[in-house]
Chains A and B, each alone.
Chain A
Amino acid sequence: MTVGLRQTWALAWRSVTGVARLPQAWFPALFFPLVLMAIFTGSFASAPGGIPGFPPVRSFLDFAIAGAVLQGVLIGGTTAGAAFAQDIEGGFFDRLVASPTSRTSILAGRLGGSVALAIVQALLFIGIALVFGASIENGLPGLLAVLAIGALLAVAAGGLGIFLALRTGSAEAVQGTFPLFLIMLFFSGVFFPRETMDGWFRAVADANPITYVVEGMRKQIVGDAQAGSTLTAIGITAGLAAIALGGCALAFRRRIAGAT
């Protein structure tokens, strides 16, 4: 391995360790998506046939998996941003910058940790859902596609979190943006299909990129029952990731120049 790769690897390991050893860091990201999945599945078990416009999926649980994965990834993004901000507050970031570690390794280390956690989390959610009788229409390739979208989204969400951390230098400020993530989630096709919405609510969900990301994942799980395109989801997450990384690069330079 080159020096840069070893640095990135060591920092990714530290990110994962930081989350794994602090229950308050991983618990919310596991707990909330699972609880919501359980509650919605319990409440709307008959929804696929009972709600007008609901796509003809096999079970609500199948429908709910993609949403849980996506929520976990977004919460993980906030966690990554907050952890990065804590590094800035606590001085670890200074230690990194004053060492021969490249900026790329510093960012990639944190994001690599985020991606690893997102994949573990997604596998856990999917595993639990499978135990409770869910199934993935497209099998293993479908699972891999879901994981790929989840990983790209983890880069985008983590990148946004790190961007905020670099600009504000405050973990509290980064965590303060979490309600915005929640709003993004609620006004999207994450919890219910767009087909069941109308009026302005539908218009907002139509305009929300999160909708297309979750639909692209779900396509692999429920098959053709639902509209949506996996390629669109990959395109959108890759685009968001690119924007977030560009923002991080600029914010990084700005922080060193000392403008903030």
Chain B
Amino acid sequence: MPHAVRAEGLEREFKGGIRAVAGVDLEVATGEVYGFLGPNGAGKSTTVRMLTTLLRPTGGAAWVAGHDVVREAAAVRAAIGVALQDAAIDPFMTGRELLRLQSVLHGLRRREGQARAVELLERVGLTDAADRRVGTYSGGMRRRLDLAMALVHEPKVMFLDEPTTGLDPTSRFALWEEVRRLNSEAGTTVFLTTQYLEEADQLAARVAIIDDGRIVADGTPAELKAEIGDPTLTVTLERTGDAVAAEAALVGLGRAMPSGVGRVCLRLPEGAAALPEVVRRLDLAGVAAAGLDIAQPTLDDVFMAKTGRRLEGDAEDAVAAGAEAAAPSSP
């Protein structure tokens, strides 16, 4: 089975002629983590609902685990695990009860279900909270339980719709770790939607950017960023007056960019590999640098280039991601 998920011209039109999904083509290889990135209302959830048999397409076709989502819906349901937005769990039931219920729904025998519940609770770190009502769980605990519930039948393909929306950073990292483990240990294909650039960047081997019901770009995060351009080097000077000398020293390494006072910026095609040369030249010219930063283009830059807009509310995340990727050093 070459493709875990495949869609051809997938469309969904709602009453009133609103086309939430307007012809989506995608291919997710078996064993891949695929990130579906886009702002609110871009059509991410509608696409996932069609792929998980919850909504019938009005055009095109899709196959999940080799089965047609409309004609072989039952086979699709048996093969997939689904954790949708707003973890759907009963506050009045305990984590263990919900896991056991879920295993019955997936046709496991009572014994198997019991054992599986114990195993999954342990795995997502909820053993201590297993017999507490879910109403007392934190947001992160609910998401982890939700993930565990989607795993009872060891699905081949896992759909996660905005799994970390609204979570604090610690819970988010814990969930990412779980998704990575699921993919690397069990070889589960993961189809993940997110509006967080960093999440797509961190987790997904391949990313599709969806806007207004259409895929506007897809590829590995590195490929997408490479389309945008080279990394940017920023030299922060100790003495503002050194700007001209610094620019002169770096000529030939890259294209100079407009920069603020006390800084020199240039596009560096070789990226971090050029840093020793930068340091050597600045040293020779007698320029003292207070800081050197290399910023990679972010997926937000990709989104900007494709749609002319920034991903809503993610400006700070993008900056944070850029800062992490930077290689600050000082001679």
Residues of A within 8 A of B89 (CB): 92
Across the interface, do A100 and B56 meet the contact criterion of CB distance under 8 Å?
no
**Does B54 reach chain A (CB closer than 8 Å)?**
yes
Set A9, A22, A99: member contacting B106, Cβ < 8 A: A99
Set A11, A14, A97, A258: member contacting B93, Cβ < 8 A: A14
B: interface residue count bin: 20 to 34
**Does A101 reach chain B (CB closer than 8 Å)?**
yes
Within 8 A of A (CB), among B62-98: 74, 77-78, 80, 82, 84-90, 92-93, 97
Residues of A within 8 A of B107 (CB): 3, 7, 100
Mask for A203-229, Cβ within 8 A of B = 1, else 0? 000000000000000000000000000
Across the interface, do A14 and B101 meet the contact criterion of CB distance under 8 Å?
yes
Given A91-B88, A95-B82, A100-B74, A256:B106 Cβ within 8 A: no
Closest to A109 in B: B105
**Does A17 reach chain B (CB closer than 8 Å)?**
yes
Tell me how far the C-beta of B21 lies from the nearest C-beta in chain A, rounded to whole angstroms. Answer: 11
Set B56, B88, B100: member contacting A92, Cβ < 8 A: B88
Tell me how far the C-beta of B79 lies from the nearest C-beta in chain A, rounded to whole angstroms. Answer: 9
How far is it, in angstroms, between the C-alpha of A3 and the C-alpha of B93 when the chains are bound?
Answer: 22
Given A17-B93, A95-B82, A98-B80, A258:B14 Cβ within 8 A: yes
Across the interface, do A91 and B85 meet the contact criterion of CB distance under 8 Å?
yes
**Does A18 reach chain B (CB closer than 8 Å)?**
yes
**Does A195 reach chain B (CB closer than 8 Å)?**
no
The SS class assigned to the A binding surface is: helix
Mask for B7-36, Cβ within 8 A of A = 1, else 0? 000001011000000000000000000000
Of A90, A94, A257, A259, most B-chain CB atoms within 10 Å: A94
**Does B55 reach chain A (CB closer than 8 Å)?**
yes
Across the interface, do B88 and A100 meet the contact criterion of CB distance under 8 Å?
no
**Does B182 reach chain A (CB closer than 8 Å)?**
no
Across the interface, do A7 and B54 meet the contact criterion of CB distance under 8 Å?
no
Residues of B within 8 A of A258 (CB): 12, 14, 55-56
Residues of B within 8 A of A101 (CB): 105
Residues of B within 8 A of A94 (CB): 49, 54, 82, 84, 88
Closest to A97 in B: B54
Across the interface, do A99 and B105 meet the contact criterion of CB distance under 8 Å?
yes
Tell me how far the C-beta of B169 lies from the nearest C-beta in chain A, rounded to whole angstroms. Answer: 25
Tell me how far the C-beta of A13 lies from the nearest C-beta in chain B, rounded to whole angstroms. Answer: 8
Mask for B229-261, Cβ within 8 A of A = 1, else 0? 000000000000000000000000000000000
Residues of A within 8 A of B110 (CB): 6
Residues of B within 8 A of A259 (CB): 15
**Does B220 reach chain A (CB closer than 8 Å)?**
no
How far is it, in angstroms, between the C-alpha of A256 and the C-alpha of B73 when the chains are bound?
Answer: 12
Across the interface, do B105 and A256 meet the contact criterion of CB distance under 8 Å?
no
**Does B104 reach chain A (CB closer than 8 Å)?**
yes
Closest to A96 in B: B105
Closest to A258 in B: B55
A interface with B by C-beta (< 8 Å):
3, 6-7, 9-11, 14, 17-18, 21-22, 87, 90-101, 256-259
Q: For the complex of A and B, list the 5 residue pairs with the smallest distance between their C-beta atoms, beginning with the closest.
A: A91-B88, A10-B104, A21-B92, A98-B82, A92-B88
Offer 8 A-B interface pairs, CB within 8 angstroms, sorted by A: A6-B104, A17-B92, A91-B85, A95-B82, A98-B80, A99-B105, A100-B78, A101-B105
B interface with A by C-beta (< 8 Å):
12, 14-15, 49, 52-56, 74, 77-78, 80, 82, 84-90, 92-93, 97, 100-102, 104-107, 110, 149
